[in-house]
Amino acid sequence: MIMSPRYAWPIGVALLIALPFVYRDPYHLHILILILIWSFAYTSWSMMGRFGLVSLGHGGFMGVGAYVTALLWNHLGLSPWIGIPIALLCAGTLALLVAYPCFRFRITGHYFALVTLALSGIVLQVITATRDWTGGSLGYTPERTKGSHIVALQFDDKTVWYLIALAVWLAGLLIWHLIDRSMARYAMEAISEDEDAAAAAGVNVTFEKLRITVISALMTALAGALYCQYQMFISPDTVSGIAVSLQMVFAVVVGGIYVALGPTVGAIITLLLAEFLRIFFGTKAVGYDNLVYGVLLVLFIIFLPKGILGSILDRLKGVPVRQTVAKKPA
């Protein structure tokens, strides 16, 4: 019954491309587009996360991607086709600026998580502080184009957005696949096992970590820009800050951090859950969805540290889900 992956991929992709031409319910398409964009963002996070680089700064990169693109469009009239590369450049520079000292001086684990956590907090602060330009916590809307939709990267047709999001999502998976098959993966795995040993074996630890960080940051910024272009509204809380960073980690943990499709599974589950909770509780019960989110995250980490997809795959392979590590003598 199980199809060989060789055929599963092209068939799956073909079905996904065909979908909007057959099925056109705008609400469902909207949810699908959001799932694809966030899947891409979560996949970007896992690029680092799978190698033990737990960044809580990705909310910052996403915010830079979204806001820089929108600001350039509104204030300078720069098309997102130019604005997005500039935004990516900004996010990449920010990633380098923060990550370089971290890696150069061996800031890892808790320290790295905290530094990046502060980064996403600071990006949020900057967006709020520059409220004269960004609208602060009230949010920001790119101006509707009066000219070409293609130049402005603004489309009213959901099908177009669906195809864009699908292409970007597939590109994300392709990058994952390429890294998976490259030497960089072995280098990063060695580093996450033991930095000193990796360095002794000739791995340029700082460079390898920086490379994966910059790739991850660029992808995340792109996700932010796309989200902005699609939703035509951004606010500091939805694209930046600690909450967004944690949301990424949460989704990836739920889906599975070490599997290519894990982040996607995480995005599907979390977005559907959020949507379900939003409808279930209605607009008067703001916050309940996040409450359930948080509780689930904690439960997941305690009981299913490998995520849903990871645990299912492990079970199929016959590996126990929770391996107990024998305590070694001191």
Binding site residues, another protein, CB under 8 A: 52, 54, 56, 97-98, 101-102, 104-107, 109-111, 113-115, 117-119, 121-122, 124-126, 128-129, 241-243, 246, 249-250, 253, 285-291, 293-298, 301-302, 305, 325-330
Q: Are 163 and 13 in contact (CB under 8 A)?
A: no
- Report in angstroms how near the CB of residue 250 gets to another protein at its nearest: 7
Give the closest residue to 32 by CA, choosing from 210, 232, 23, 7.
23
- Report in angstroms how near the CB of residue 120 gets to another protein at its nearest: 8
15 versus 286: smaller Cβ distance to another protein: 286
118 versus 171: smaller Cβ distance to another protein: 118
171 versus 296: smaller Cβ distance to another protein: 296
Residue with tokens 């806001």: 67
Instruction: Enumerate the β-bridge partners of residue 140.
Output: 234
- Report in angstroms how near the CB of residue 195 gets to another protein at its nearest: 15
Q: Are 208 and 191 in contact (CB under 8 A)?
A: yes
Distance between CA atoms of residues 162 and 303, nearest Å: 35
69 versus 270: smaller Cβ distance to another protein: 270
Distance between CA atoms of residues 194 and 188, nearest Å: 10
Give the closest residue to 184 by CA, choosing from 38, 37, 53, 5.
53
- Report in angstroms how near the CB of residue 171 gets to another protein at its nearest: 27
Distance between CA atoms of residues 302 and 292, nearest Å: 15
Tokens of 155: 């489309």
76 versus 129: smaller Cβ distance to another protein: 129
Q: What distances in angstroms separate CA 239 from CA 38, 179, 217, 257, one per listed residue?
A: 11, 26, 14, 21
- Report in angstroms how near the CB of residue 45 gets to another protein at its nearest: 12
- Report in angstroms how near the CB of residue 289 gets to another protein at its nearest: 8
59 versus 65: smaller Cβ distance to another protein: 59
